[in-house]
Every structure is written in C-alpha cells, then in structure tokens.
Amino acid sequence: MLRYSLKRALSLLISLAVASLVIFAVIEIAPGDPASFMLGVNAQPDTLAALRTELGLDQSKAERYVSWITGMLRGDFGTSYTYRTPVSQMIADRMWVSLPLALYALALSTAIAFPAGIYAASRRGKVGDLTVMSATQLGVAIPNFWFAMMLVLVFAINLRWFNAGGFSGWDKGLVAGLHSLTLPAIALALPQAAILARVMRSALLDILGEDFMRTARAKGLSRRQALWRHGLRNALIPVLTIIGLQFSFLLAGSIIIEQVFYLPGLGRLVFQSISSRDLIVVESVVMLLVFAVITVNFLVDLAYAAVDPRLRSRT
C-alpha cells in the first residue's frame, strides 16, 4: 500500500507542475494589461510604467512564474492588483463559503443517490426502478442554474422560507450559515444526485451478475441480502470515482450558482477578478482549485486500493 501511495503522490506532483505551467501560460497570453485597465486609456506613460514596476509586471514572464510558484510554496499568493490586499486572505475569506457549500451539496447528493440507486437496482425492471430512472433522467436534463432560479422563485419569493441570495456569515451561528447555503446546495446537489444514482444502479446490476453473487444466492441469501452483504462493497469503485469528480466540480464549478445566489465564494471571486484583469488572483485561485481537484483524485485512488486490494498489485 505504501508503494502504491508513493507512486500516486509522484503522479500528483507532476500533474501540479504541469498544471501550474498551463495556468500561467494561458492567463498571461490573455489580451489586456492590468496596469492599463486600472489607470484607464488616458494614463501617462511614466505613471503606467511606475505602476507596472510596482505590480511586478515589468519582469520577464519566466521571472514572474518563478516568483509566483516560490511564493505559493511559502504560502504567499501575492497581492491583489485591484484590492491591494493579500490574495491568501481573499481566498481564505471566500473558502469559508465555497468549501462548506461543496461539502453540503455533496452530502445531500450522496444521501439522495445511494438509497435511490440501491432501491432501483433491487427492483430492476419494476415500477420502482422505472420511476427512479425517470426521475434521474429529468435531473440530468435540467440545467442547475435554471433549477436554482426556480428554487428562488418558489422558496424565497413565494413561500419566503429562505433569502433570495447572500450569505449571513458563520458568526451568526452554524444553523444560520447552513440556512443561507441550503438553496444553493440543493441546486448543486440534485443534478449530481441523479448522475450518482444512475452509476450506483448500473454498478450494482453489474455486480449482481458475477459468480460470487450467484454463489451467495445459492447458499440461501435472498437477492436483497446478497446485494447488501456482498454487492454494495464491490460496486463502490465506480461510485467513488463519481463522488471524487463531483466534489471537484462542486468546489471549482459553482461559479454560476454563486452568481445566482450572490454568494461571496471562490467562483464569484474568479469572475470578478477576470473582469478587472486581476491576474494574480485568477492564477492563484485557479491553481488552488486545480490542487483540490488533483488531491481529491489522489485520495480516490487510495480509496480504490482500500476497497479493492487487487489494484495495488497492478502498479
């Protein structure tokens, strides 16, 4: 297991190094100069040059890349061009919204998908299976931003159970914070739950056709007992893959939902920074999100090896 983990850790480091180069290159070649954007088109050349020097934009791209990487390794993400505050502080403030939102949505998605997928697999071809599959097909087809607006219309405007947007803050208590994140979490969770439920059903049905499941049935276990005792564990590998990918998506891809609900999260920060050409913020936040995605995939690989020891001997 240790050898397997070390190989996966090396792969993680290589992926991060390549990702940092790609992120820096793509963002740096984007048109527009941050200093010109901040001072306007009528800025004097000497004033523009002084600001570029202050921001470090007069350095070569190689120097700026090395400075950016070494700074992140020390925990220094630089200073925002627009707000003139440490990027690390901006990220930390927004992370306390985006990370709980992603975890809340993932918990809801898993809590819905697991029972639905197991129920559908245990009743293959029956009314319950067809009902669950129809519901999941609808969940996959509905765009989450449209669903988010419908949630606002029904539960915020008509019923007034929730606020239409904004975040109350954790200083007002855990209940108040989760209450503010409930509608966004539901908007993110239900489409993901539909995907996860279909994967769970498919994985369980594949397992039910295996020889060891027929042996369990021959020993006297009912279909449901064999599914719970032997099938569920063996069906977890593809499900873990989807859960890992979903968490990465929920953390890095919730920019539209954060816009709909006016949440001060990482997605909204990236959107605002792109609009203002605050490159150092965009680079640092995107790199952090890439790190989160790759780390989650690394943890999923380790979970694979824990669930199925045969994978350790194949590497």
Tell me the pLDDT tens digit for each residue of 241-283. 788 778 877 877 677 888 888 888 888 888 888 877 788 888 8
Whether residue 244 sits in one domain with residue 99: yes
Q: How many domains does the chain divide into? A: 2
Instruction: Grade residue 41 by pLDDT with cuts at 50, 70 and 90.
Output: low
Whether residue 192 sits in one domain with residue 46: no
Q: What is the pLDDT of residue 129?
A: 85
Whether residue 120 sits in one domain with residue 72: no
Q: Read off the pTM.
A: 0.79
Question: Which is more confidently placed, 104 or 314?
Answer: 104
Long-range Cβ pairs for the range 46-52 (8 Å, 24+): none
CATH number at residue 219: 1.10.3720.10
Q: What is the pLDDT of residue 105?
A: 92
Q: How far apart are CA 186 and CA 105, in angstroms?
A: 6
Residue 4 in domain:
no
Mean pLDDT, the chain, whole residue set:
81
Whether the per-residue pLDDT at 94 is higher than 80: the answer is yes
Residues ≥6 apart with Cβ < 8 Å to 167: 97, 177, 180, 181, 263, 264
Q: How far apart are CA 142 and CA 191, in angstroms?
A: 7
Last residue of a domain, one of 62, 87, 112: 87
Instruction: Grade residue 290 by pLDDT with cuts at 50, 70 and 90.
Output: confident
Whether residue 251 sits in one domain with residue 126: yes
Instruction: Grade residue 145 by pLDDT with cuts at 50, 70 and 90.
Output: confident
Q: What is the pLDDT of residue 271?
A: 82
Last residue of a domain, one of 61, 87, 113: 87
Q: What are phi and psi of 4, to 5 degrees?
A: -60, -45
Residue 81 in domain:
yes
Residue 86 bridge partners (DSSP): 79
Q: Tokens 């509608």 sit at which residue? A: 183
Q: How far apart are CA 106 and CA 239, in angstroms?
A: 13
Highest mean pLDDT among 113-127, 178-192, 292-306: 178-192
Whether residue 122 sits in one domain with residue 57: no
Q: What is the pLDDT of residue 315?
A: 52
Whether residue 292 sits in one domain with residue 148: yes
Q: How far apart are CA 282 and CA 286, in angstroms?
A: 6
Residue 144 in domain:
yes
Range of the domain at 76: 16-87
Query: What whole-number percentage of the chain has pLDDT above 90?
Result: 8
Whether the per-residue pLDDT at 235 is higher than 80: the answer is no
Instruction: Grade residue 160 by pLDDT with cuts at 50, 70 and 90.
Output: confident
